[in-house]
Amino acid sequence: MRVRPLPLAVLGLVCMSVAPTHARAYCRLTTSMPVAGSACASSGTPLVWKRQCISYSVVPRARNSPTLGEIRSVVDRSFQTWGDVTCGGAVLPLALAQTGELSLCDKPEYNETAANVNSIIFVSDWRERALPPTAFGLTMVWHDSRSGEIVDADMQINETLGTLAVCGKRCAPGQIDMQNIVTHEAGHFLGLGHSALSNACMFGQAQVGETSKRYLSRDDEAGICAAYGGRSQPNCTVQDYVPDNGFASSCNQLPPQSSCGCSTPGAPQPATSGMYWLGSALALAGLWRRRKRAARVARITDR
Ligand SMILES: [Zn+2]
């Protein structure tokens, strides 16, 4: 497998200009999507998760407002918004779940030969990391460059464009609604690009204080159904959610013998110490935090 990351700078402008008025359908990411581009690629293989049991893990922030519990709930609600979509009368055949264990890996990475975690990262040193300065978020979608299979995704949320908050119906001045950003980023996480429709969640621009991207338009729903509709419903066990090569809460959890120069292009080199496996599927038993509708696990579908 040849894996490469697709970085998606998202919600690029703090001040939204005049929105396009022409209608255009959703956009799916493909293997030929220009790096950091927002135009919809017309070639390449669409990116899609083949696995149907997908986990994500929150990295705790240094700031304690909103609380970690509030953040975890917001992240769940954001993914749930996509999971609630029905395609042809059937609920989206993906099971999306947050791990009970937090991620401690605050940088995007995919380890082809070691354990992984799909991290939700809140970045307070956005500029120092040389990330796009006006982006509210950036999601890295790691995929097989031939088949388009998504194997890992890491979401970075910009803490520097305003006060990240869990807004009510409206935000206070200067607040950035976390759910507005994470719902949009979750669309990228699942393989969608930007829509040209200004009322779509996947529209590529936003404003401080905006909350409209908490909700999906029909265009967003059509996009996610094009990617995943028609599959049978998954019946996920805890082990099925474990990322490739196992779950690692920390970065670079490589086996000692793997400290060669063979890491994924673009991924950090292995650390020189503290490398060990954590990734046994069974090690996660009991640590998983099921979603509110976890009862559906027993009924084949999890959310
Ligand atoms: Zn975006």
Angle at 156 between CA 25 and CA 95, to 5 degrees: 65
CA dihedral 60, 65, 67, 68 (to 10 degrees): -10
Looking at the predicted structure, is the pLDDT value of residue 296 above 70? Answer: no
Helix (H) or strand (E) holding 7: strand 3-10
- φ/ψ bin of 240: left (φ > 0), alpha (ψ from -120 to 50), beta (otherwise): alpha
pLDDT recorded at residue 78? 98
d(CA 7, CA 108): 10
The average pLDDT across 124-142 equals: 95
Ligand 1: centre distance to CA 108 (Å): 16
The average pLDDT across 70-77 equals: 97
Angle at 155 between CA 149 and CA 161, to 5 degrees: 145
d(CA 241, CA 59): 18
The average pLDDT across 230-243 equals: 96
pLDDT recorded at residue 43? 87
d(CA 155, CA 185): 7
**Do 59 and 121 contact (CB within 8 A), yes or no?**
yes
Using DSSP, state whether 137 is helix, strand or coil: strand
* Domains located in the chain, CATH noted: 3-298 (3.40.390.10)
Ligand 1: centre distance to CA 259 (Å): 34
Ligand 1: centre distance to CA 154 (Å): 13
> What DSSP character marks residue 241?
G
Ligand 1: centre distance to CA 100 (Å): 27
Ligand 1: centre distance to CA 116 (Å): 23
Listed residues: CB within 5 A of ion ligand 1: 10
- Reported pTM: 0.79
User: Which tokens go with 90?
Assistant: 């059937």
113 contact partners, CB below 8 Å, separation of at least 6 = 245, 254, 255, 258, 262
Residue 231 pLDDT level (bands cut at 50, 70, 90): very high
Ligand 1: centre distance to CA 178 (Å): 14
Q: What type of residue sits at position 163?
A: T
Ligand 1: centre distance to CA 131 (Å): 14
Ligand 1: centre distance to CA 190 (Å): 12
User: Which tokens go with 259?
Assistant: 């400290």
- The pLDDT tens digits of the residues spanning 3-52 come to 666 665 444 333 232 333 345 589 999 998 655 555 688 889 999 999 99
Looking at the predicted structure, is the pLDDT value of residue 100 above 60? Answer: yes
**Do 187 and 137 contact (CB within 8 A), yes or no?**
no
